[in-house]
């Protein structure tokens, strides 16, 4: 089995990324392990969903290559369990049965892909590339939001009121009237708030507020 050169380059540049494989067929596990390791990926193999459930998820971009039919907990049931536990690892399903209803259910539940055995290396590698890229983007986004949350938490209660009103589009004079303070006081709070949030412009501040879920007033 051979994969596309594009997939190999994309994966080889991400040695920190991990592919978890769950399949009760040892031959399949070993074949996939060889494939993923050949492009520089770390691979962890499991014979059942329960084995995988015992590990501590690493702080690294990862994806799960999961057999749809497993002893004990099925792949679909395990997908639901992961979602319920808020473990948002991208999943690529494998099946030897070509079960269309299962594939539809899996994709609706957020699976990246659904591959029928025997699949080509290129299909699997391309699916893994998409899955790892999606997980990396999610992690990067969560990191940005976490950093913004720390900055927001450093604001005083008044500065938080000011940020909400600035994002709402109010001018300093309007904010002063809204809060019952002087315009000079608003300017001081606004300067401090922008500095703490590290916002270089109101447009950038609006983007930060959107990420933090700070809603603008209606009307």
The two tokens of residue 13 are: 């540049």
Q: Which CATH superfamily is domain 5-140 in?
A: Response regulator (3.40.50.2300)
Strand blocks (E) in the chain: 18-22, 42-46, 62-67, 91-95, 113-116
181, pLDDT greater than 90 = yes
Contact 26, 33 (CB under 8 A): no
User: pTM to 2 decimals?
Assistant: 0.73
pLDDT score of 216? 59
pLDDT score of 9? 40
- Counting Cα atoms < 13 Å in the Cβ hemisphere of 10 gives 16
Q: Which value, to the nearest 10 degrees, does the dihedral of the CA atoms of residues 114, 120, 125, 128 take?
A: 10
- Residue count (the chain): 219
> Which has the closest alpha carbon to 120: 10, 37, 31, 47?
31
> pLDDT higher for 16 or 132?
132
> pLDDT higher for 107 or 130?
130
For the stretch 28-53, pLDDT in tens is 999 999 999 999 899 999 999 999 98
> pLDDT higher for 2 or 23?
23
For the stretch 72-82, pLDDT in tens is 888 888 999 99
Query: Which of the four CATH numbers 3.40.109.10, 1.10.10.10, 3.20.20.80, 1.10.240.10 does domain 154-212 have?
Result: 1.10.10.10
Where do the domains of the chain lie? 5-140, 154-212
> Which has the closest alpha carbon to 97: 68, 70, 122, 120?
68
Query: Where does residue 19 fall: left (phi above 0), alpha (psi -120 to 50 degrees), or beta otherwise?
Result: beta
Distance CA 66, CA 48 (A): 9
Backbone CA torsion sign across 7, 12, 17, 18: positive
- Distances in whole angstroms, Cα of residue 187 to Cα of each of 166, 182, 197: 11, 9, 15
- Bridge partners of 43, per DSSP, are 19
Distance CA 68, CA 89 (A): 16
Buried b (16+ CB within 10 A) or exposed e, 90-109: bbbbbbeeebeebbebbeee
């Amino acid at each position: 089995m051979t994969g596309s050169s594009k997939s190999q380059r994309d994966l080889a540049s991400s040695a920190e990324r991990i592919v978890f494989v769950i399949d009760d067929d040892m031959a399949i596990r070993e074949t996939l392990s060889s494939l993923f390791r050949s492009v520089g990926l770390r691979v962890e193999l499991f014979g059942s969903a329960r084995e995988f459930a015992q590990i501590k998820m690493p702080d690294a971009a990862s994806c799960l290559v999961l057999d749809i039919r497993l002893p004990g907990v099925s792949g679909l049931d395990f997908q639901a369990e992961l979602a319920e536990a808020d473990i948002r690892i991208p999943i690529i399903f494998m099946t030897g049965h070509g079960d269309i209803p299962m594939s539809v259910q899996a994709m609706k539940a957020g699976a990246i892909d659904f591959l029928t055995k025997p699949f080509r290396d290129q299909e699997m590698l391309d699916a893994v590339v998409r899955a790892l890229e999606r997980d990396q983007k999610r992690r990067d986004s969560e990191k940005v939001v976490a950093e913004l949350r720390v900055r927001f938490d450093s604001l005083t209660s008044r500065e938080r009121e000011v940020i909400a009103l600035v994002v709402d589009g109010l001018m300093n004079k309007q904010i002063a009237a809204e809060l019952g303070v002087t315009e000079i006081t608003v300017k001081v709070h606004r300067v401090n708030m922008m500095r703490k949030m590290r916002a270089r412009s109101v447009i950038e501040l609006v983007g930060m507020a959107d990420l933090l879920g700070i809603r603008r007033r209606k009307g």
